[in-house]
Amino acid sequence: MPLLTLADAKAQLNLKTDRDDTELQVYIDAVTPVIEEYIGPVDPREVSEQHDTGTGRRLVVLRTMPVLSLTSVEPVLTGGSSYPVDALVLDAATGSVRRRDGGWFHGLLEVTVQAGRASVTPTINLAARMLVQHLWRTQRPSRSGGLAGGGDDYSVSEPIVGFGYAVPNRVLELLAPYRLPPGVA
């Protein structure tokens, strides 16, 4: 399930025709990396990371979260140890991988995972809808000549020039329960 469909965005914006579909799709595509910056991958995808375990480590802690499944753990250099996936345990909540037998990992490893979410929660979908709406409205003049939607989306508390911010606080607040832990990129 994608983060946001064209139908979702059109419903949020109350658009009834397909006149703006091509332009609107650009906005939909643009919000995905912004949302994922805060909460990690949404749409499932394969991700590979290199981890240097040196002379030995019991855990490999993934940098990409959330993780749906572990695909492979292979040596980068010739002659290194390969680790069969069925001999490993993935803790999806922490992003850690350990050997089932309690042994150590050795050397430079290429870890491949299926990252993302099994489904998009209504809260994450709403945050994406609201972000598209916010960005869409900055490009549409209101009938009175100013920007559409009133000042609260565009004004800031300090007297600085500009439209304010690209990601409204209300979107960040919706994403807060899904925020990546510190140190995870």
pLDDT of residue 77: 85
34 part of a folded domain? yes
70, 87, 115 — which closes off a domain?
Answer: 115
> Do 78 and 22 share a structural domain?
no
Amino acid at site 40: G
Looking at the fold, whether 53 and 111 belong to one and the same domain comes out as yes
Residues 74 and 124 placed together within one structural domain of the fold: no
Q: pTM to 2 decimals?
A: 0.77
Residues 129, 91 share a domain: no
- Are 60 and 98 part of one and the same domain? yes
In a domain, 49, yes or no: yes
Residue 1 lies in a domain: no
Domain co-membership, 23 together with 51: no
For the chain, residues with pLDDT lower than 70 are 140-165, 183-185
Residues 64 and 36 in one domain: no
Instruction: Look at residue 25 in the predicted model and tell me its pLDDT.
Output: 96
Question: Does 92 reside within a domain?
Answer: yes
What does the block give as tokens for 78? 């010739």
Q: In what order do the strands lie in the sheet with 108-115?
A: 45-52, 108-115, 67-75
Q: Residue-wise over 172-184: b if at least 16 C-beta within 10 A, else e?
A: eebbeebebeeee
Q: Which domain holds residue 65?
A: 45-115
The confidence score (pLDDT) of residue 184 equals 57
